Amino acid sequence: MLPLFLAWLHATNDMFSAFLAPMLPRLMEALGVGLGVAATLVSAYAVSSSLLQPLAGLVADRTDRRWLAALGPVLVALGLGALGWWPGYGALIVMLALAGLGSALFHAAGAALVAQYTPPERRGFWMSAFSSSGVVGMALGPLVSVGAAQAFGLKGLLYLVPLALVPALAFLRAAPPVRLEARPPGLGALARVFRGDVARLWGMGVLRSLVFMSYATTLPVWFVAQGLGEARAAVALSVYSLAAAVGGVLGGSASDRWGRKRVLVGTLVASLPLYYLVLLLPLGTLEHLVALALAGAVMNANLPVAVVMAQEREPEQIATVSGLLMGFTWGFAGLAYSLVGPLIEGFGVLPVLAGLGGLLVPAVYLAGRTADPRVEWA
């Protein structure tokens, strides 16, 4: 039951996180700023929610992480739900940074609690369910926020905050206190765990995430440039994202049965031909959608597997390594994507995306050099 509460909280957390992008036009009008200034709002949230996750993990490894898992989504809901209430740009960017910190705390603490609340033989499945619930929440975010804003205005998003309060309070009521066996000494603990297999898993995650993110982010622009329109691009992107959620659940379950490393390496190897098949098939066709779904599912199947492998490698600092393998990989991939855009402008979509696919080769190498530990916690 407790892993289900955490999945519910993850869906809620990421649903509110997804409010910002569709609300940017309204915020620009309300604040009287252009897209360049508005983009800094996105950056403030993205940096604090992703790159701070390892530090959030250190905090979660030193305290009763139930409170962090419950508080995080509430901070996100207050920051994003009150978008229309902050008096100006300065206050808004501070609140978005705090909301991002709440998301970082939740992801690190939540992933660690999933590991603690589940038996080792089912840990892959529950971690994948936890991960995929966030994808579902992000898919719902734009629909919920736009619907609420159209009905009640930008300030009406505040009415949605109880959607985070209810699961947070229910989780706190149901979850027993977390007893920590040991307390890491501080920042030195981060340096200690960020080596060996954990570092290799992180490097693999950055490369995989950069390929996955680059295709997903470029896809709408590519469709529009080919004259296929925004609607068909949205369908393709939804297929890609939802298939990724399903793939995460299947990958985690498979790792429980056939081994973490086997599934990790196997899905990365299978991603290579599927990725290039997607690039070669004509956009907008049924064949392309099918290949897109397969590629999204297989490429994302290894994400929860890598998180569990890192947790099993460092059982006394599961929150810290969870932060490293989740938000920190995605944050670094996001920073690297800032270089991809200019490359696409200079050389075109297809050559650059084809070149990025080659990053899956060193990702396979790094995954192949990891061990497959199976550690049980008391």
Structural domain for 86, as ranges: 2-175
**What does the alpha-carbon distance between residue 151 and residue 168 come to, in Å, rounded to a whole number?**
26
Predicted pLDDT at 52: 78
**What does the alpha-carbon distance between residue 319 and residue 248 come to, in Å, rounded to a whole number?**
20
Q: Which of 119-123, 254-258, 265-269 has the lowest mean pLDDT?
A: 119-123
Top-confidence range, 45-54, 183-192, 207-216, 267-276: 267-276
**What does the alpha-carbon distance between residue 51 and residue 332 come to, in Å, rounded to a whole number?**
7
Non-local (6+) Cβ contacts of 352 within 8 A are 340, 343, 344
- Are residues 31 and 72 located together in one domain of the fold? yes
Domain count, the chain: 2
Predicted pLDDT at 377: 41
Domain presence at residue 160 = yes
- Are residues 133 and 210 located together in one domain of the fold? no
Q: Which of 130, 148, 175 marks a domain boundary?
A: 175
- Are residues 300 and 208 located together in one domain of the fold? yes
- Are residues 245 and 331 located together in one domain of the fold? yes
Predicted pLDDT at 207: 92
Q: Residue 96: which CATH number?
A: 1.20.1250.20
Domain presence at residue 62 = yes
**What does the alpha-carbon distance between residue 249 and residue 253 come to, in Å, rounded to a whole number?**
6
66-119: pLDDT as tens digits: 888 899 999 999 999 988 888 778 888 888 889 988 998 898 888 888 877 887
- The answer on pLDDT for 376 being more than 50 is no
Domain presence at residue 39 = yes
Average pLDDT of the chain is 82
- Are residues 160 and 111 located together in one domain of the fold? yes
**What does the alpha-carbon distance between residue 291 and residue 303 come to, in Å, rounded to a whole number?**
20
- Are residues 276 and 150 located together in one domain of the fold? no
163-206: pLDDT as tens digits: 999 999 999 898 887 766 555 545 566 666 677 888 899 899 99
- Are residues 92 and 206 located together in one domain of the fold? no
Q: Which of 16-30, 182-196, 334-348, 364-378 has the lowest mean pLDDT?
A: 182-196
Tokens of 36: 């360049």
Predicted pLDDT at 375: 43
352-375: pLDDT as tens digits: 889 999 999 999 999 988 886 554
Domain presence at residue 140 = yes
Q: Give yes or no for a contact between 134 and 18, defined as CB atoms under 8 angstroms apart.
A: no
pLDDT class for 335, splitting at 50, 70, 90?
confident
Between residues 365 and 26, the one the model is more confident about: 365
- Are residues 168 and 201 located together in one domain of the fold? no
pTM: 0.74
Greatest Cα pair distance in the chain: 59
- Are residues 38 and 161 located together in one domain of the fold? yes
- Are residues 163 and 195 located together in one domain of the fold? no
Q: Which of 116, 146, 175 marks a domain boundary?
A: 175
- Are residues 225 and 164 located together in one domain of the fold? no
